[in-house]
Amino acid sequence: MLPEQTGEQIVFVGGKDYLPLVVSLTSAVAGKKTIFYNSAYPPLAVGCVLKRYETSMRTNWHYQCANAFLDGAIKLT
């Protein structure tokens, strides 16, 4: 239920299995979309800014990434 003309940024931190759904659901939204990922290769996410979150964690890495983002340890720019 995101307004298409929002100026707000969208940030996605999650597993690759959810990425196609997020891209699809936000495709009409005009705001900047940033996707954090943890694989060696960037995912396909048309219209999104991709930022690799490097960590040795392979399971539940997104919790660590989200906490780092909320704590200001990683930035969108």
Tell me the pLDDT tens digit for each residue of 34-49. Answer: 999 998 899 999 889 9
Q: What is the pLDDT of residues 7-37, one digit of tens each?
A: 788 999 988 899 999 999 888 888 899 999 9
Q: Nearest 5°: phi and psi at 50?
A: -105, 130
Please determine, for residue 1, whether its predicted confidence score (pLDDT) is greater than 80: no
* Structural domain spans, the chain: 10-70
> H-helix or E-strand containing 7?
none
Identify the pLDDT of residue 72: 93
Identify the pLDDT of residue 28: 86
pTM across the whole model: 0.85
3-state class (DSSP) for residue 10: strand
